[in-house]
Structure formats: structure tokens, C-alpha cells
Amino acid sequence: MSQGTMSVSSLNTKIKSLLETTFMHILVEGEVSSVTYHNSGHVYFSIKDKASSIKCVMFRSNANKMKFRLERGQHVVVNGSVSVYTPRGEYQLLTVSIEPFGQGALALAYEQLKEKLEKKGYFEQNRKKVQPKYLKKIALVTASKSAALQDMLKIIEKRWALLEVVVVDTLVQGERASSQIAEALAYADTLGCDAIVLGRGGGSKEDLWAFNEEVVADAIYKLTTFVVSAVGHEIDVQISDFVADLRAPTPSAAMEMILPDQNEILYTLSEMQERYARVMQQLLGTKEEKLKAFSQEFQRHSSSRKIAMMEKEFVNLEEEFKRVMQYQMGQYQNRVSPLEGELKEKLDYALALRRAELKTLEEKFQLSNPKAKQKEGWAEVVRAGKRVDLSLLQKDDKFVITDTKTKVEVLCLNKKEI
């Protein structure tokens, strides 16, 4: 090799060293002319202007951080460094991040509003309302003719068809969209729903910008109803997502997150019913065995059994008593016979004495009988149930005169002292 000559590898190495140390952390503006998402997760694409193009690569670690999907024709700003592949002498732009061209102002506004609302406490977890477990009525705040609404309705029909749905139509894109969304949310809050879902399908940052406006954030913050923000695709994060009680990656996902699955519930109820039947069967079996034992024990100690035993014992005692009494009566009969005559004589004598005493008493009674002593022409005067003297009677008094044979009711017409 002559002096001053170098190998291809040496040349490529020097070029690599020169380029990679000269073009570090540069921003390159251009239009995406081609793009390939590799299975490995790496993204291979080219950007161009009117005169030339350059190949670019973004490895998986950085590609996973992108907030949007790179598509042909997009005007972008690529942040990266020049890299040389020595074996083939090719160079490309090793990309760290990509931003859509001309959207730096929106990104700045987004961050400024986010910081402002965070300081005001709009994002605090302790102010967020608890998600209802079972919903009866919800309001869907979205465009009435949007694909997002149809997607949500399909999920509702599939998961929880009993749900009452109120659609609150509003613009979801354009200059007047933010004010209409705020008004629609305030109206939905008056409907007595269990939840409000603010939904919209995917789109560009400009398309979704209404959900990053302060007027919408204020409206969400003032709601008394549980609210879900379901705007865009999973990679899209709006200010409404931070303020809402729950953030869903898509409108369809919102329905999956807040609605129970009727099939799962039916399956769970079926399992519970079977488990309940088994438990009840076991319980009833156990109780039946205990009842049988109690019944047998009751039969052994029942009052009817005891009464039957007592009746039998009573019959035996009665027969024994009769036998003993018959024996005793026989013994007493032998003893009583000699005394019977003597007892009769004593009773006759005692009766004779009592008859004589009775006759004497009768004679005395007749002698002391008031009726027998009453003189002719005299009678008893009774007023108000009490015997009174004639001098105590007054004119118009009613009284009764009674002698031994007659009772007369009398009215005093006049009274005169004699």
C-alpha cells in the first residue's frame, strides 16, 4: 500500500468519527416520505424536503414514548444524531424524539394550563368521586352522529342492556366545541344520572384540543355526578382526563370499565345459586339428623310416655289398694259386728235426749214470739226500709204498715198531734 493510501474501513471509520462528533443532538425538519413499524418495535422511516432525503431510525425504547403514530406525509421535526454504519458506509439519523411541526405552541399551552389547574387542586385524588358499582342511568356527552357513540352503545347492549342511556349531543371539534361541551356537561349534571361519560374518538392534537380548554376543565370540576373522560386513543392524554373522576383510554373502554358484564354476573349468580343449594342441602341434612335425634329423645322423655307409664303404675297401685282394702275391710268387719248392737243403743238414747231438748226449745220460742205478743189494733210502721215512730212522719211521706197478717202501703195526707 503506497504512502497516503487508506483502506475503505479506515475511511468509513474516519467519516463515522467526523460525522457523529459533528452532528450530535440536532433538529431536522422534513416531511415523512416512508415509514415502517418493525415487529421488533423499531421504527424505520425517511424524511425529505424539496431537494433531498435522509434515512432515520428510532429504536424501540424511544418509539414506545411517542404520543402519536408516525404516518407518511406528516410534517415533523426530528431530534437526533447522525450515525454511520461502517460496514456499508451508510449514514442515517438516529432519532431520539419526533414532534409534529408547528405544534410547539399547543404543547406549551397544554403544559401551562396543566400546571395552573394542578395548583388550583383540580387533579387531587381526594376530591374525585367514587365510581358507582351498578349503574341504572348514564349520560353520554358526545356527537350524536359519531362513531364513538355507536361504539359505546354496542358495548352497553353487550354488557348491560338494562341501562338507561341519555345522549347529550355536542360539538367535539372546532372553535365552538369547548363552550358547547361545557354547556352539555352542565346540562347532563341535572338529569339525575349515575355517571356522565365525555367521549370522542381519536384524531390529531388539533382535533382533540377542545378537551384541553380551561372552560371544559372548569365544567368537569363543578360536576356533582361521577364523570369519565374517554377522549381519543390510549396514547392521547387530555386535560379533561386529569380533571375527571376516571380516565378511559377510549370511549369503548369507558363502557368496559364502568359497566358490569351481564354474562359474568349471570354466571356468578348461577354459581352462587348452586353453592347456596349445596349449602342448604347440607344444612338441611344436618338439621334432619338432629331432628331425628331430638324426636327419639323426645319420645323417651315425652309427657305422653310418662303419663302412660304413670297410668300403668296407677292401675297396678289401684289393684294393690283394692286388694289391701278388701283384706282390711274383712278384718274390720269381724271387729265391728259385736259393737254394732251397742252403738245402736247409744245412738237411740242420744236421739231421745235431743228430741226432748228440741221440744223444750220449741215451747220457749212460742212463748217469746213477737207475733204472739202483739195486741189487736197495733201494727209496725216502716219508712224507707226502717221502722219509725208515727210522730216522725211528715205530710206526703210514703210508708208501709205491717201487722201479723197484712202489709199496707200508705201516703200521709195530713198529720195532727193528739
Residue 75's contacts (CB-CB under 8 Å, 6 or more residues apart) are 29, 30, 31, 32, 100, 101, 102
> Which cell is 18 given?
467526523
Please report the pLDDT score of residue 260 as a whole number.
Answer: 87
102 pLDDT more than 90: no
Choose from 74-83, 86-95, 212-221, 335-344 the range with maximum mean pLDDT. 212-221
1 pLDDT more than 50: no
Q: Which domains does the chain have, with CATH numbers?
A: 12-102 (2.40.50.140), 106-124+132-260 (3.40.50.2300), 380-411 (no CATH)
3-state helix, strand and coil shares in percent for the chain, rounded to the nearest 5:
50, 20, 30
Please report the pLDDT score of residue 105 as a whole number.
Answer: 46
| Residue owning grid cell 431537494 | 51
251 pLDDT more than 90: yes
For the segment 262-306, what is each residue's pLDDT rounded down to a tens digit? 888 888 888 888 889 889 989 998 888 888 888 887 777 777 777
Residues pairing with 379 in the sheet: none
103 pLDDT more than 70: no
Q: Could you tell me the strand order of the sheet in which 398-402 lies? A: 386-387, 380-383, 398-402, 407-411
**Least-confidence region, from 36-50, 84-98, 170-184, 393-407:** 393-407
Handedness of CA 276, 277, 282, 286 (dihedral sign): positive
Q: 177 with 170: CB under 8 angstroms? A: yes
Choose from 64-73, 248-257, 386-395 the range with maximum mean pLDDT. 248-257
| Residue owning grid cell 357513540 | 149
Q: Which residues of 217-247 are buried (b: 16+ CB within 10 A; e: fewer)?
A: bebbbebebbbbbbbbeeebbbbbbbbbbbb
Q: pLDDT confidence of 104, banded at 50, 70, 90?
A: low
Task: Give me the mean pLDDT over the 306-326 stretch.
Answer: 83
83 pLDDT more than 80: yes
Measured distance CA(247)–CA(341) in Å, rounded: 125
The amino acid at residue 340 is E
pTM of full prediction above 0.75: no
pLDDT, mean over the chain:
86
409 pLDDT more than 50: yes
**Least-confidence region, from 54-63, 216-225, 371-380:** 371-380
**Least-confidence region, from 56-65, 244-253, 354-363:** 354-363
Please report the pLDDT score of residue 24 as a whole number.
Answer: 86
Please report the pLDDT score of residue 109 as a whole number.
Answer: 65
